[in-house]
């Protein structure tokens, strides 16, 4: 059985959405295929520069990226 590393897209789509501001940001961010395609911190910063999000959405996008990196380390394959 061949498995691959957890992608940012897989991570985002597996996150539980809640009825909070963070949940609203997540829902809006995953609607954007450019955000789902992010593969590096450089990609994330390019996405943020291109899309001119509200400051709190930018903060949340960076929090998601850091949480993804932690989750990826926990899934070593």
Q: Decide if pLDDT at 74 tops 60.
A: yes
Quote the CA–CA distance of 60 and 41 in Å, as a whole number. 14
Query: Quick count: other Cβ atoms within 10 Å of Cβ 22?
Result: 15
Over 80: is that where the pLDDT of 6 sits? yes
Domain boundaries, the chain: 8-72
Query: Is the alpha carbon torsion for 36, 40, 45, 50 positive or negative?
Result: negative
In Å, what is the CA distance from 8 to each residue of 19, 23, 29, 71? 22, 17, 12, 10
Sequence-ordered list of residues with C-beta below 8 angstroms from that of 50, at least 6 positions apart, any chain: 34
Kindly report, residue by residue over 29-65, the tens digit of the pLDDT: 999 999 999 999 999 999 999 999 999 999 999 999 9
N-to-C CA span, the chain:
11
Q: Whole-model pTM? A: 0.83
């Amino acid at each position: 059985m061949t498995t691959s590393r957890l992608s940012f897209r897989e991570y985002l789509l597996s996150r539980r959405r809640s009825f909070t501001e963070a949940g609203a940001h997540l829902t809006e961010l995953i609607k954007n295929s450019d955000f789902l395609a992010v593969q590096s911190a450089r990609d994330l910063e390019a996405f943020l520069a291109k899309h001119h999000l509200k400051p709190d959405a930018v903060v949340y996008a960076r929090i998601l990226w850091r949480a993804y990196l932690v989750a990826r380390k926990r899934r070593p394959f």
